Amino acid sequence: MKIMVVGGAGYIGSHMVKMLLEAKHEVVTFDNLSAGFRDSVLGGDFVEGDLCSRAALDACFVAHRPDAVMHFASFIQVGESVRRPDKYYFNNFSNTLNLLDAMIAHKVRHFIFSSTAAIFGEPQYVPIDELHPTNPLNPYGKSKWMVEQALADYEHAFGLKYVCLRYFNAAGADPSGLLGERHEPETHLIPLILRAASGRLPHIQVFGRDYDTPDGTCVRDYIHIVDLCAAHLLALNQLVQNEQSSHFNLGNGAGFSVQQVIDAAERVTGSKIKVLDGARRAGDPARLVADSSKARLALGWTPRYADLETIIGDAWRWERKMLDKAD
Ligand code: UDP
CA atoms 101, 103, 109, 114: torsion sign? negative
Residues 109 and 35 in one domain: yes
What is the residue with the minimal CA distance to atom 22 of ligand 1?
A: 169
| Mutation probe of ligand 1 site: the residue of 258, 261, 287 with most atoms within 8 A of C-beta | 258
Could you tell me which residues are beta bridge partners of residue 223? 170
What domain range is 297 assigned to?
189-221+253-326
Give residue ranges with CB within 6 A of ligand 1.
Answer: 169, 187-189, 192, 204-207, 218, 220, 258, 281, 284
Gap from CA of 29 to ligand 1 centroid (Å): 29
Per-residue pLDDT of the chain (327 residues; tens, 9 = 90+): 999 999 999 999 999 999 999 999 999 999 999 999 999 999 999 999 999 999 999 999 999 999 999 999 999 999 899 999 999 999 999 999 999 999 999 999 999 999 999 999 999 999 999 999 999 999 999 999 999 999 999 999 999 999 999 999 999 999 999 999 988 889 999 999 999 999 999 999 999 999 999 999 999 999 999 999 999 999 999 999 999 999 999 999 899 999 999 999 999 999 999 999 999 988 888 999 999 999 999 999 999 999 999 999 999 999 999 888 876
Alpha-carbon distance of 18 to 176, in angstroms, equals 11
Looking at the annotation, which residues are catalytic?
140
Alpha-carbon distance of 184 to 207, in angstroms, equals 20
What's the domain count of the chain? 2
In a domain, 177, yes or no: no
Residues 160 and 273 in one domain: no
Q: Return the ligand 1 atom nearest residue 208 CA.
A: 7
Closest CA to 273 of 262, 264, 282: 262
Residues 123 and 203 in one domain: no
Residues 239 and 321 in one domain: no
Gap from CA of 189 to ligand 1 centroid (Å): 5
CB atoms within 10 A of CB 15: 29
Alpha-carbon distance of 48 to 255, in angstroms, equals 38
In a domain, 181, yes or no: no
Residues 267 and 292 in one domain: yes
Q: Return the ligand 1 atom nearest residue 171 CA.
A: 20
φ/ψ of residue 110, rounded to 5? -120, 125
Whether the Cβ atoms of residue 130 and residue 248 lie closer than 8 Å to each other:
yes
Alpha-carbon distance of 130 to 138, in angstroms, equals 20
Gap from CA of 282 to ligand 1 centroid (Å): 11
Alpha-carbon distance of 189 to 262, in angstroms, equals 9
Confidence (pTM): 0.97
Residue 38 DSSP symbol: G
Alpha-carbon distance of 127 to 137, in angstroms, equals 19
CA atoms 242, 246, 249, 250: torsion sign? positive
Gap from CA of 290 to ligand 1 centroid (Å): 16
Residues 79 and 164 in one domain: yes
3-state secondary structure 262-326: HHHHHHHHCCCCCEEEECCCCCCCCEECECCHHHHHHHCCCCCCCCHHHHHHHHHHHHHHHHHHH
CATH number at residue 271: 3.90.25.10
* DSSP letter string, 87-98: HHIIIIIIHHHH
